[in-house]
Amino acid sequence: MRILIISTFFVVFPRLILSQAESNDLQLNTITTALPFMAITPDSRAGGMGEAGTALSPSSTSVYWNTAGLSFAEKNSELSLSYTPWLRQLTNDMHLSYLSGYLRVNKKHAIGGALRFFSLGEITFTDASGNVLRNDKPSEFEITGAYAFKLSDKFSIGVNGKFAYSNLTGGLTVAGVMTKPGKVGAADLSMTYFNDRVKIGRNNATYTFATTINNIGNKVAYSVLAKRDFIPMNLKIGNALTLKYDSYNTITYALDIQRLLVPTPAFYDNINGQVTMLSGRSGDVGVINGMLQSFYDAPGVVAKDENGDYIQNNDGTYQIVKGSRFKEELSEINIAAGAEWWYNETFAIRSGVFYESRNKGNRQYLNLGASLKYNMFGIDFSYLASLNGRQNPLANTLRFTLRLYLGDKPVKSSDV
């Protein structure tokens, strides 16, 4: 009972704090990207912990979360298959499938791979007059290769190489312009600190710190004339603490901080009949510049006088409300927190929360999940309950993961 009470407090407390920190004086300014399916959480374990998966104990789905962690996996190898019906509040034929696995080659080296497939269901294309052109089933996929290298008994690094293909229009010609699929080459970088010799009171514990930069890749356009958009490059910083209370009960607490490494849209308005940038920076930059710019380019709020007109400075620029740029930068940070309880390494229950500012997309939800493991097989399940009401299209999202554990336990990290 004590474990369940502590778990509930850990999950609920961050939500209470964050709700008090909501900023109501910022304008809506959501950051959008091409190929957003690359950033959808694919697995049920992290999906049941508020998507706080960066520093969780390594598994086959670490290929998505944190490849460096594979160096500390307890099993030599694992395969998993995940399935997520997507946006079922809106449609019944969209889904995400994710196949992943890894192999520990020896004490220092591990390799892995994953295949992600996203189906957008059946879509009817029409012309400007509403005449049906054709029916199509757009889809996207991503192939990932992963490598992890252990630097010492506590530190490891990881790198992923990936190729993604997004065919949303099937080559349809729109307004005389032929469309094309989006193609991406990208990489993930990750680092893990793993310490399995921690003592918390009388309990043995394992602490993990991990950070990843995901989807560092080229910009994408779906036609020759279209503007090229960034893919969902993001930074994740994760912490996880696993306490072993006795030979049967183990509990893990996880906390992730996440943010997109994509430029924030500048603020434009019509001034004297001309669209003018009033605040912020142009997002028409290269990939590396865009990643760096994402840390300081929030436009904030342009100040207005008592008549509702924008206040202009002597140099022709527009006055920004003090502190609003910094507030907007902070609002781009998402927080995920979760807790997980395992009994005898056979049965688990978990829960978590995910928070995103209402100015940046307003994804705020509670997650619940469970697992059952028997010999070589395991199954995970998670459920997403929106904290914004039923109108949220992510409400009632389900995830399922089937795991196959292969091989014997390798030499533990502390013995390397």
**pTM (2 d.p.):** 0.89
pLDDT of residue 87 exceeding 80, the answer is yes
pLDDT of residue 407 exceeding 70, the answer is yes
pLDDT at 365: 93
Q: Is residue 372 part of a domain?
A: yes
pLDDT of residue 301 exceeding 80, the answer is yes
pLDDT of residue 370 exceeding 60, the answer is yes
If residue 211 lies in a helix (H) or strand (E), which one and from where to where?
A: strand 203-217
Tokens encoding 403: 């795991």
Q: Which residues pair with 275 in a beta bridge?
A: 270
Q: Is residue 324 part of a domain?
A: no
Look at 53 and 169; give whichever has higher pLDDT.
53
Backbone φ and ψ for 61, nearest 5 degrees, come out as: -80, 0
How confident is the model over 244-286, as pLDDT tens digits? 999 899 999 999 999 999 999 999 999 888 999 999 999 999 9
Spatial distance between the Cα atoms of 355 and 177, rounded to a whole number of angstroms? 40
**Domain total in the chain:** 1
Tokens encoding 176: 């005389």
Task: Write out the DSSP string of 38-81.
Answer: GGS---HHHHTTTT--TTSPP-TTHHHH-GGGGGG-SSSEEEEE
Contact 374, 365 (CB under 8 A): no
Farthest-apart Cα atoms in the chain, separation: 73
Residue 412, helix vs strand vs coil: coil
Residue 149 carries which side chain, given as an amino acid letter?
Answer: F
Contact 109, 129 (CB under 8 A): no
Domain enclosing residue 159, as ranges: 2-264+332-415
Arithmetic mean of pLDDT, 165-176: 79
pLDDT at 413: 44
How confident is the model over 116-137, as pLDDT tens digits? 999 998 887 777 777 777 788 8
Q: Is residue 156 part of a domain?
A: yes
pLDDT at 391: 67
How would you label 326-338 residue by residue, b for 16+ Cβ within 10 Å and e otherwise? ebbbebbbbbbbb
pLDDT of residue 42 exceeding 50, the answer is yes
If residue 10 lies in a helix (H) or strand (E), which one and from where to where?
A: helix 2-20
- The region of weakest confidence among 140-144, 175-179, 309-313, 346-350 is 175-179
Indicate the burial class of 119 (C-beta count within 10 angstroms; 0-12, 13-18, 19 or more). middle
Q: Is residue 381 part of a domain?
A: yes
Arithmetic mean of pLDDT, 146-166: 97
- Given phi > 0 = left and psi -120 to 50 = alpha, else beta, which region is 345? left
pLDDT at 182: 93
How confident is the model over 57-74, as pLDDT tens digits? 999 999 999 999 999 999
- The region of weakest confidence among 10-19, 128-137, 167-176, 274-283 is 10-19
pLDDT at 21: 44
Q: Is residue 201 part of a domain?
A: yes
Nearest to residue 334, comparing CAs of 63, 51, 58?
A: 51
pLDDT at 252: 97
Q: Is residue 278 part of a domain?
A: no
Q: Is residue 288 part of a domain?
A: no
Spatial distance between the Cα atoms of 414 and 242, rounded to a whole number of angstroms? 16
pLDDT of residue 22 exceeding 70, the answer is no
Tokens encoding 276: 């003018």
How confident is the model over 311-341, as pLDDT tens digits? 999 888 999 999 999 999 999 999 999 999 9
pLDDT at 143: 98
Q: What is the CATH number of the domain that holds 220?
A: 2.40.160.40
Token match 């609920």: residue? 12
pLDDT band at 8 (very low <50, low <70, confident <90, very high): very low
Q: Is residue 307 part of a domain?
A: no
Look at 19 and 46; give whichever has higher pLDDT.
46
